[in-house]
Structure 1
Amino acid sequence: MPRPLRSAALAATATALTLLVTGCGSSEDGHGDAKKGAAPAVGAQEINAQPASRVRQGGTFRFAVQKWVHQYNYFHVDGTDGDAQALLEQVEPVLMPRDAKGVPHPDPNFLKSAKVTSTSPQVVTYELNPKAKWSDGKQLGYRDFRQLWQDLNGHDSRYLVADSTGYDHIGKVERGANDQEVVVTFARPYADWQRLFRPLLPAAGIDTPEKFNKGWIEKFPITGSSWKVKSLDRTSQTVTMVPDPNWWGPRPKLDSMTYRALGQQAWTEAYLNKEIDEAPAILPEDYKRLVKAPGTAVRRGARWDEVHLTLGTRGPLKDLKVRQALDLAIDRKGIVTAFDKDIPFDVATLDNHFFMPNQAGYQANSGKWGRYDLAAAKKLLDQAGWKDNGEGKPRTKGGRSLTLDYVITAGGSTASLDQAQIVQQQLGMAGIKVQIQKVPDEDWSDKYIDRGNFDLTSFRNVDQIFPSQLYSTFQQPKGDQTYLNFGRIGTPQIDALLKKASEETDVAASHKLYNQADKLIWEQVHSIEIYQRPQILAVRKNMANFGAPGLGDLDYVTMGWTK
């Protein structure tokens, strides 16, 4: 299933928190591609789509997740883990799931319609399905929309939100002709309004800061979809979902789904031992084993999915010159080349933080900050006052050595360690010492990344199809509220451009503004993009309506085993 990382997604983000190498792909019959070809295009997906008549009733599907989830409130600053979002969206209303091209459409089980009913001011009217109910028996209604907006609009700092973008554009949320008609009036235009209220949460579960911040820790207090939680077993590190008998829509095909917390390096072995039913076939060594497994299909898709390095500012990287020197000392092409040889299509370096190379709006904005220039890097470090002590020795300043911690998960893939070691070697040539710090998987987010307790790290942002979703990633923090800008790097100019872009309803003009902001983000060295990562997934061949959905969403109701 698509698990957004650091927001839906950070996942989700499944959460490949560090660089994962792209492995060979295959068609449904399991034969790999013989020579290099083009990467999957936008809209490409492989899910073994089957009508309901071809899918049998019953059975279990078993997933792996990277760690035991602590915070299930996706909107909380600690809840943006991709696995958490995936589980949350199985049991809460996703009002407008996306098709293969990433276009949202109302799910009639929840939403009769959602449309702009006025442009000056911008007004969006939602018509909810009156059959839709929460697990406490209450109907979905305008109060849920209003409460989520009030929590997320940034007006009350007691709500520790991950992202207020879009919600801070809304002026009011009101009852329409009845409780199931929701009228959302925007104080400022917002082009990406279709991304809001996903998933919808019940007002009763988030109507106080205490409930919002702590009420979703290791539990789902109220649900409202086709599935419900049967058990969260911390001892076995397993979450079990079953169909909700009070569901008003078509009956799900499967009897249960399980999610087992399992170190990433163990997924291939678990799949081959028939302990789980899907596993990433990204790494060449994993692909070679998985593609040979009986009854296995390797499915590929084109996803909004980028691999990057994130920089922190708790130490030497607070200095812009040092960040820029680090940027110039890293050979991005060298990193990509180290992994490119074993995949069936060419991978290029990624030069944009907002758009993928096969997406409208993409242009290369990295400029000189995307080019490897060791001499220029050394010159910047000289200017920043870091003394060159000769080859193989870290630079020093005021009695301190220029040493950075690169934080990775102890349970991550060999590729994550390989990338860290490549960066370590490259930066060492400039006199920057890198210490690779392995931390427990369960601590990576809560104790390190979310707290800015790192100098360097790597994770993926995925499924950021609406560019305004990334505003909180680059937004300047306000006091203790860091949003998703873990390194706390930003400027008023970047904020102003992103704000203006989010309010621009002309697509071409909006793209231009995002690209202007992107150039400043490269210059500030907020993060260093490396490449777009495709989906390559091994799954049991007789699983229908599941696999690599690309820009789309999976349907938990239609997933099942073929007859």
Structure 2
Amino acid sequence: MRNSMALAVAALLLVTGCGGGGGAPAKQGEQPKTGSADINPKPRDTLRKGGTLRLSIQQWITQYNVGQTDGTQGDGASILALTQPALWFLDANGVPAANPDVLASAEVGTDGGKQVVTYQLNPKATWSDGTPVTWQDFATQWKTLNGTDDRFQVASTTGYDTITGVERGGDDRTAKVTFKAPYADWQSLFNPLMPGAALDTPEEFNTGWIEKIPVWGGPWKIGTTDKTAQTITVVPNEKYWGAKPLLDSVVFRALDATAITEAYLNNEIDQAPGREADAYKRLSGAANTAIRTGGRWDETQLTVGHNGPLGDERVRQAVANAIDRTALAAAQSAGLPFKVNTIGNHFFMPSQDGYRDNSGDTGRFDVARAKQQLDAAGWAAGSDGKARTKDGAALKLVFVVSNRASTDLPQLIQNMLAQVGIDVELRKVPSNDFFAKYVNVGAFDLTYFRNVDNIYPSLLFPVYRSDGEQNYGKVGAPEIDKLLDQAGAETNRAKAVDLLNQADVLLWKAGHSVPLFQTPQISAVRPGLANFGAFGLSSERQYVDVGWTS
């Protein structure tokens, strides 16, 4: 389960050129450090009870099971997380702490030299069907996600495939989980905990969560859905035994990226992202608005396929060399209050502990090197600005973009690749099909999206393993897989970080993908909204503390 990992389509700034900076404020500060947050913190007892929070999402949610192949879309994962038991919440530094409403304790030990984690559940924890939350829910979640039964269409087996067994402890509320080798990110597993009774057959796992959440055990539940209006409303779970939400409801409305700012200004929603210059300009000057900024794990990435010309590593490297990441970041920065960071690492954000810029020769903007790589791969330079050719075929790539996303960044990349003789066709596809019918099945040469909240590095392993379920471009290498296996089993953080950085060097050389920049966290919210805004690395804590000051 990857509750901290989500994919969301990025909508990027329209600019007039690649030089960047021309429209930027005269004085720009540094981007907020990774982990910084701004949520207007207030004690629960000082906030009024009731009210509604209205938020936007980027598409209608079809699959709510985040463990299923089509369930990795970020908004769906966020809504699901409100309705299921959360074992852990992350603090400002991204460090997990047990949620006492669900998890009384979790102890790590050994048995016969193997790592064993014993989870003790809150005895009040109960599913919406009236059954208690028990060790069997852990066992079912493991069995469905460990990859041993291919009838379950699994988004990621990472972590679950290292577990050898889940047993009953001293009572039904105690789960004993045994690993075949040490697993450093064990706290990323079973979070959220899912109801075993709604997962235990392939039919329930694959289709039982389509456009619905059949069983819930968190502080919220689905109240109403309206596919025509594209709204999903969650309301408090009256049977929840822990801290109750202050709000009466949260309404999620699917909107095109270009419509979100207008909806906020028209008082139709209570939050809007301001990470694009035009949006920031309009939102920052709006009445009844507070701008909150923070540093989230949030990467805008160009993902590269492996079919046709891209099957040659040299062509993938040429793509990376032809892209001026600094110019793209500068373009993204123009009109914002701070400079946007480029990223030289697939696992860590700038200013995050463990970050190193490993982009090297491949990640450097170098048109001459890009052309040399294409020459070496046998793609002859075209005449009069035409695409390169090989054996009579033109060097043409298809860049797939969601129709809810801006094409401004793809157009900039298209222009950059044209300078080295690569012809790029931009192909817009329906947003509701973007992941399920294109990204998830590798039906693209190039595509882009945001990877967010990958605070546990192992959440990225299925993206970068050669056989990873989320390695949509299918680019990898045995050497990378070996380093990831070693990092996952390394409980010494310094050693694990070193192994991840070694793997990162190889990912750049393989041309797996091109991390572009750390997407800024700028959120326009109503000033009377407390415990909400830019969360940084911390958890949203299922919105139970979110409320209005008056």
The TM tier, using the shorter chain, reads over 0.9
C-alpha separation in 1, matches of 2:243 and 2:317: 55
Structural mapping, 1:17-96, within 5 Å = 17=10, 19=12, 35-96=27-88
**Quick check: 2:294–2:534 contact (8 Å CA) kept in 1?**
yes
Shift of 1:33: 9.2
C-alpha separation in 1, matches of 2:151 and 2:336: 47
- In structure 2, the partner of 1:25 is none
Question: Paired residue for 2:155, among 157, 162, 179?
Answer: 162
- In structure 2, the partner of 1:489 is 475
Shift of 1:427: 0.8
C-alpha separation in 2, matches of 1:268 and 1:505: 44
Structural mapping, 1:324-403, within 5 Å = 324-403=317-396
- In structure 2, the partner of 1:469 is 459
Structural mapping, 1:140-539, within 5 Å = 140-413=133-406, 417-477=407-467, 483-539=469-525
C-alpha separation in 2, matches of 1:232 and 1:428: 45
**Quick check: 1:33–1:344 contact (8 Å CA) kept in 2?**
yes
Report the CA distance shift for 1:34/1:364 in structure 2 as closer, same or farther (over 3 A).
same
Look up the SS of the partner of 1:78 in the other structure: helix
Unpaired stretches in structure 2, ≥5 consecutive residues = 16-23
Normalised to the residue count of structure 1, the TM-score between the two structures is 0.93
Is 1:560 paired with 2:539?
no
Shift of 1:307: 1.3
Shift of 1:19: 4.6
Percent identity of the aligned residues?
Answer: 49
C-alpha separation in 2, matches of 1:373 and 1:281: 32
C-alpha separation in 1, matches of 2:207 and 2:351: 40
Report the CA distance shift for 1:297/1:312 in structure 2 as closer, same or farther (over 3 A).
same
C-alpha separation in 2, matches of 1:292 and 1:228: 36
Question: What are the Cα deviations for residues 162-215 of structure 1, in whole angstroms up to 9, with x where unaligned?
Answer: 111111111111110101011111111101111111111100010011111111
Is 1:132 paired with 2:132?
no
Report the CA distance shift for 1:514/1:306 in structure 2 as closer, same or farther (over 3 A).
same
C-alpha separation in 1, matches of 2:323 and 2:449: 17
Look up the SS of the partner of 1:253 in the other structure: coil
Look up the SS of the partner of 2:339 in the other structure: coil
**Quick check: 1:18–1:458 contact (8 Å CA) kept in 2?**
no
C-alpha separation in 1, matches of 2:441 and 2:362: 27
**Quick check: 1:8–1:464 contact (8 Å CA) kept in 2?**
no
Residue identity opposite 1:399 in structure 2? G
Question: What are the Cα deviations for residues 507-534 of structure 1, in whole angstroms up to 9, with x where unaligned?
Answer: 1111111111111100000001111122
In the TM superposition, structure 1's runs of 4+ consecutive aligned residues that sit over 6 Å from their partners are: none
C-alpha separation in 2, matches of 1:117 and 1:253: 38
Tell me which moved more, 338-347 or 60-69.
338-347
Report the CA distance shift for 1:46/1:377 in structure 2 as closer, same or farther (over 3 A).
same
C-alpha separation in 1, matches of 2:182 and 2:415: 47
**Quick check: 2:483–2:503 contact (8 Å CA) kept in 1?**
yes
Shift of 1:10: 4.8
Residue identity opposite 2:431 in structure 1? D
Residue identity opposite 1:99 in structure 2? D
**Quick check: 2:9–2:448 contact (8 Å CA) kept in 1?**
no
C-alpha separation in 1, matches of 2:54 and 2:393: 50
**Quick check: 2:13–2:278 contact (8 Å CA) kept in 1?**
no
C-alpha separation in 2, matches of 1:190 and 1:504: 7
Look up the SS of the partner of 1:105 in the other structure: strand
Shift of 1:489: 0.6
Report the CA distance shift for 1:144/1:8 in structure 2 as closer, same or farther (over 3 A).
closer
Look up the SS of the partner of 1:322 in the other structure: helix
Is 1:542 paired with 2:508?
no
Shift of 1:342: 2.4
Shift of 1:245: 1.2
**Quick check: 2:11–2:405 contact (8 Å CA) kept in 1?**
yes
Question: What are the Cα deviations for residues 274-297 of structure 1, in whole angstroms up to 9, with x where unaligned?
Answer: 111100011111111112222111
Look up the SS of the partner of 1:145 in the other structure: helix
**Quick check: 1:7–1:82 contact (8 Å CA) kept in 2?**
no
**Quick check: 1:7–1:462 contact (8 Å CA) kept in 2?**
no
**Quick check: 2:306–2:475 contact (8 Å CA) kept in 1?**
yes
C-alpha separation in 2, matches of 1:325 and 1:293: 44
**Quick check: 1:19–1:458 contact (8 Å CA) kept in 2?**
no
C-alpha separation in 2, matches of 1:19 and 1:72: 27
Tell me which moved more, 536-545 or 395-404.
395-404
- In structure 1, the partner of 2:19 is none
C-alpha separation in 1, matches of 2:33 and 2:92: 11
Normalised to the residue count of structure 2, the TM-score between the two structures is 0.95
Report the CA distance shift for 1:100/1:20 in structure 2 as closer, same or farther (over 3 A).
farther
Shift of 1:431: 0.8
C-alpha separation in 1, matches of 2:14 and 2:144: 38
Report the CA distance shift for 1:128/1:9 in structure 2 as closer, same or farther (over 3 A).
closer
Q: How many equivalent residue pairs?
A: 540
**Quick check: 2:2–2:67 contact (8 Å CA) kept in 1?**
no
Shift of 1:9: 5.0
- In structure 2, the partner of 1:26 is none
Shift of 1:461: 0.9
C-alpha separation in 2, matches of 1:9 and 1:33: 34
Coordinate RMSD, CA, aligned: 1.8
Shift of 1:42: 3.6
- In structure 2, the partner of 1:97 is 89
Look up the SS of the partner of 1:189 in the other structure: coil
